[in-house]
Amino acid sequence: MPAARLELGLLEKPSRWRREEVAGVIVLSVPVQERAIPAWFDGMHPRLGIEIGRLVLLDDVPGNGETWFLGRAFRLMRKLLPEVRGVLSYCDPLERRDADGRVVKRGHIGTVYRAFNGRYVGRSSARVITVSRDGRCVSERALSKIRGDEQGAAYAVRQLTDMGAPARDEGESGAAYVERALRAGGFSRVRHPGNLTFTWRVDGAQARDPLNRQASPVG
């Protein structure tokens, strides 16, 4: 879960046959890298930017639900976080498969963000990621915590063992454990081309994405 600055839910109204329930969630968060906002917004101060850290809707939400929800979320964000001038979001285009070849995560190309007039500004840096046998991506920050025996290392170890790594031996250094766990737990290294990056200016300076001339915001 990212460090949230604003969390909003989409509620589905109750009906004769069903009670009210949460049908979607958006988390507007602090970017993982402090340099992300200045990099994508021409030197903007990090505090003036925010990231769409999570956006999830139930499958039965009607069409255009994502853009409708984004429109309401941005409206509330302007009211509750008036200092924000830029919004950033990433899409992971890399499909993930488990060790048996089953697709566990489809690649995303930013269809919803384009429909909401997001400006495509390029890719984040290419990198190599660590993937578990069931197709989950291992957090490099979590591995760093274990190697350095930092605060939160115990929780990171539990995450790693949940992905198939062996338990940590008593007295074993964090660095030695990570090396052994990744070797013995069936993890693989995968080349990632970089996430697709989209931005919105909320101070009136948003430029139209040249690849999105037909799109218009909803909400």
SS3 letters across 57-96: ECCCCCCCHHHHHHHHHHHHHHHHCCCCCEEEEEECCCCE
Give tens-digit pLDDT for 139-153: 998 999 999 999 999
Give tens-digit pLDDT for 10-24: 998 877 777 888 999
Give tens-digit pLDDT for 189-199: 999 999 999 99
Residue 20 vs residue 45, higher pLDDT: 45
Instruction: Say what the pLDDT of residue 33 is.
Output: 87
> How many angstroms separate the Cα of 131 from the Cα of each of 1, 123, 168?
18, 21, 19
Among candidate residues 110, 202, 141, 158, the one with its CA nearest the CA of residue 2: 141
Domains of the chain: 1-126+194-219 (3.40.630.30), 127-192 (no CATH)
What does the DSSP assignment read for 112-138? HHHHTTPEEEEE---EEEEE-TTSPEE
> How many angstroms separate the Cα of 168 from the Cα of each of 131, 149, 153?
19, 12, 11
